[in-house]
Amino acid sequence: MTTAVYPGSFDPISHGHINLAKRGLKIFDKLIVAVARNVAKQTLFTADERVEMVREVLSDDSRITVDAFEGMTVDYVRSCGANVMLRGIRTVSDFEYEFQMALINRHFTTDIETMFMMTSNEYSFLSSRFIKEAVALGADVSAFVPELVQRRLREKLGGEGR
């Protein structure tokens, strides 16, 4: 049975993240969506709020589990008994960043591989920053995030919706 870890901040989780997770299950038997508790990164939602949202929107597939972690991602992946990290790539700049991270991770451990998966075309332009800005300006972002997430974004950011 192959298990992969899909780490990220998921602030907030979007349809692009969901799509990538479900496509990852075509390759892996089990997927752990790992929400990073990164003190250096300012997030809109707390780690607990992000875990709760991710669990709710991915609850339709028992092969997906959701957890939070802090510290080095490779250490977390190892602690899960996995040896693959799934990472999404939207743009060339994403690839450059993810490639550097994969090489740094390989410096710390050679027993964990990073698998890059291209984002589906319809989500290639999405970013959490864009989604949050759009909500704050009152836009309907239901094409980009599940209704639960849009509701939580409005609670945090305001925005009446259009």
Mind telling me the catalytic residues?
Answer: 17, 41, 90, 128
**Are 115 and 87 within 8 A, CB to CB?**
yes
Amino acid at 157: L
Q: Residue 116 — left, alpha, or beta (φ > 0 → left; ψ -120 to 50 → alpha)?
A: beta
Contacts of 124 (CB under 8 A, 6+ apart): 16, 90, 91
The count of other CB atoms within 10 Å of the CB of residue 30 is 17
By CB neighbour count within 10 A (0-12 exposed, 13-18 middle, 19+ buried), where does 35 fall? buried
